[in-house]
């Protein structure tokens, strides 16, 4: 049986699993779905057209499914926020629903959102992503599986952050970031997230292949097109390095408004400047 505190305001149209827990002064608006074992702590708000899967924890003062922060948005638009399973949203997180009719902002499963993290309208946050305190994802951006956004990191709208990327605290992402990359400053790559790759179970051979792909792209002096041709000469690469190559190709073929550059390698850029 659901545990709903008498001070909570729950719209009659909300679909609640039998074992959800809704704390004091929470608000659950119309057309909301809360899956099994979801917990809302005091003062959490879930706005209309938001769907949560199972085992999600929503801490105090978090607002899920708020109106897009877009001056053109018509509040009458029916758009969505769709959230998977086993996610943790700590105090004060905010996620906006999408801007266009029928579309959705998407959050996968097993993500962890620390205090004050934010994702804008029409963004996608894939499985196992960690957002550290006050990190923010702009509208229409995508953060791929296993990435970690450190404290106060900002991701510009329409940018793609690749799988298992790790960002330096207080850094800014204004470009697409290749998978498994460490970033610092403003869209600068500083090599590969070797520790994260090991923790994720990538073998030494898989890590070596990703290093090959990274070197071809950033350390060879080749154009992106020529680097892709070089990477295509490695059919032996496994899923990790192949995924790196596919990400680069997707960026190279991207159309407006996603036609942003790749992050640059800071070490290479510094060497070029010194010359």
pLDDT in tens, 136-181: 999 999 999 999 999 999 999 999 999 999 999 999 999 999 999 9
Catalytic residue among 53, 59, 118, 121: 121
Question: If you average pLDDT over every residue of the chain, what do you get?
Answer: 96
Stated pTM of the model = 0.95
Q: Class of 3-140 per CATH?
A: mainly beta
Of 1.10.287, 1.20.1180, 3.40.50, 3.20.20, which CATH number belongs to 198-263? 1.20.1180
Active site residue 122: yes
Catalytic residue among 35, 66, 118, 122: 122
Q: Is the pLDDT reported for residue 57 higher than 60? A: yes
Active site residue 265: no
Query: Are 37 and 20 within 8 A, CB to CB?
Result: yes
Q: Is the pLDDT reported for residue 93 higher than 90? A: yes
What pLDDT, on a 0 to 100 scale, did the predictor assign at position 2?
A: 79
Query: Which residues 6+ apart lie within 8 Å of 179 measured at CB?
Result: 144, 162, 163, 164, 165, 210, 240, 243, 244, 247
Active site residue 120: no
Q: Is the pLDDT reported for residue 269 higher than 80? A: no
State mean pLDDT over 21-49. Answer: 98
Query: Are 49 and 31 within 8 A, CB to CB?
Result: yes
Catalytic residue among 92, 139, 146, 162: 139
The domains of the chain are located at 3-140, 198-263
* 92-96, 125-129, 154-158, 269-273: the lowest-pLDDT one: 269-273
């Amino acid at each position: 049986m659901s545990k709903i505190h008498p001070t909570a305001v729950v719209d009659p149209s909300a679909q609640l699993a039998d074992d959800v827990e809704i704390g004091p002064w929470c608000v659950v608006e119309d057309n909301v779905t809360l899956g099994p074992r979801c917990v809302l702590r005091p003062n959490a708000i879930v706005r209309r057209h938001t769907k949560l899967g199972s085992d999600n924890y929503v801490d105090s003062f978090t607002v899920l499914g708020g109106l897009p922060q877009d001056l053109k948005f018509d509040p009458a638009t029916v758009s969505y926020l769709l959230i998977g399973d086993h996610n943790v949203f700590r105090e004060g997180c905010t996620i906006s629903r999408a801007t266009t009719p029928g579309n959705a902002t998407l959050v996968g499963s097993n993500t962890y959102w620390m205090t004050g993290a934010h994702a804008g309208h029409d963004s996608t946050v894939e499985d196992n992503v960690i957002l550290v305190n006050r990190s923010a994802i702009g509208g229409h951006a995508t953060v791929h599986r296993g990435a970690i956004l450190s404290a106060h990191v900002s991701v510009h709208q329409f940018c793609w952050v690749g799988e298992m990327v790790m960002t330096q605290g207080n850094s800014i992402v204004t470009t697409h970031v290749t998978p498994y990359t460490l970033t610092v400053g403003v869209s600068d790559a500083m090599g590969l997230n070797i520790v994260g790759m090991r923790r994720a179970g990538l073998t030494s051979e898989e890590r070596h292949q990703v290093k090959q792909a990274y070197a071809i792209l950033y350390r060879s002096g080749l154009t992106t097109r020529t680097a892709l041709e070089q990477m295509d000469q490695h059919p032996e690469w496994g899923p990790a390095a192949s995924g790196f190559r596919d990400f680069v190709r997707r960026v190279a073929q991207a159309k407006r408004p996603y036609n942003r550059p790749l992050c640059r390698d800071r070490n290479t850029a510094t060497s070029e400047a010194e010359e």
